[in-house]
Amino acid sequence: MMILLENENIKVAVAAKGAELQSIQSKLTGLEYLWKGDSAYWGKFSPVLFPIVGGLKNNTYRVGNQSYQLPRHGFARDLEFEAEQISKTEAVFTLVNNEETLKIYPFEFKFSLRYKLSGASVSCTYEVNNPGETDLLFSVGGHPAFAVPLTADTLYEDYYLDFSQDESLNIHQIEDNLISDEVLILQLNDRKLSLQHELFYNDALVMKDLKSTSIKIRNTKNQHGLNFRFIDFPFFGIWAAKDADFVCLEPWCGIADGIHHNQQLSDKEGIQSLSPGLDWKRSWEVEVL
């Protein structure tokens, strides 16, 4: 099932499976801003990461004395959400715990993604509710893949990321899908990072202390690009599959296990703890330029 949202500026498509964005298209230029989902490189468009972000040590975590296993980035991206179209410009997709999720993730939850159009922007809001009687431990993150290059007259190397505040990036190196002790400092040029496929040959650029709350994708040949805005996400990833024509901008409330992690979910870096009956929200937004 696919839900279509539209206003005078943009058209957006979202699939009920994984509540995953499939398309962000400008009605003014006809440009498609999302990656095409080519499975020869990476078959996703904008998967949601829940109830974990990144990989677990030995794909295993513990709640008390009980061990469980989860795949990298959790299970929500592969499940069917209940879809509700609120209006022509807003839709909500909801996933709740069931018998199968409880076998691998022993928490009751209600998890929703709310997509809303405003002008030339689409926002994605993660909404988590704890309907259970114990604290809900979870992580959540975005993984939208944006098309680079956007236009036929540009190349991947013509594009750059323009950070709103950072002068350099502290990159936490990945070792077997886990966060290692090694940190690489990547200096920016006037807060700009030129895109090259080689940047991502060793996996994602993972940051724990990003100061910026917006990152623009721009190019040196024309004015087309986008502005990606995010608030209150303590971790951030930037990634592309090897030699693929996209870049993922990934705001996270959570991160992969460190190589020394004790595998207790309650001790996991970045884990969110939500008391019974309470709600939790975070949002990011894409404005097409």
The tokens for 8 are 């005078």
Please compute Rg for the chain using Cα positions.
19
* 3-class DSSP state of 122: strand
Per the DSSP assignment, residues forming a β-bridge with 264 are 62
Q: Which residues contact 20 (CB under 8 A, 6 or more apart)?
A: 14, 44, 45, 46, 47, 48, 77
pLDDT tens sequence across 105-133: 999 999 999 999 999 999 999 999 999 99
User: What's the number of CA atoms in the CB half-sphere (13 Å) around residue 180?
Assistant: 13
Dihedral of CA 286/224/17/272: which sign? negative
Domain count for the chain:
1
Instruction: Please tell me the predicted confidence (pLDDT) of residue 214.
Output: 98
Q: Which residue range(s) make up the domain with 257?
A: 2-288
CATH for 200: 2.70.98.10
Instruction: Output phi, psi for 212, to 5 deg.
Output: -65, 150
Q: Around Cβ 8, how many Cβ atoms within 10 Å?
A: 9
d(CA 278, CA 48): 21
What are the structure tokens assigned to 256, written together? Answer: 């992969």
Contact of 22 with 33, CB cutoff 8 Å: no
Sheet holding 90-96, edge to edge: 82-87, 90-96, 110-118, 121-129, 279-288, 226-230, 214-219, 159-163, 192-194
Residue ranges of the chain with pLDDT lower than 50? none
Cα–Cα distance, 214 to 289 (Å, whole number): 14
| Sheet of 10-15, strands arranged across | 2-6, 10-15, 20-26
Could you report the per-residue pLDDT of 198-235, keeping only the tens digit for each? 999 999 999 999 999 999 999 999 999 999 999 999 99
CA distances from 227 to 26, 38, 159 (A): 14, 24, 13
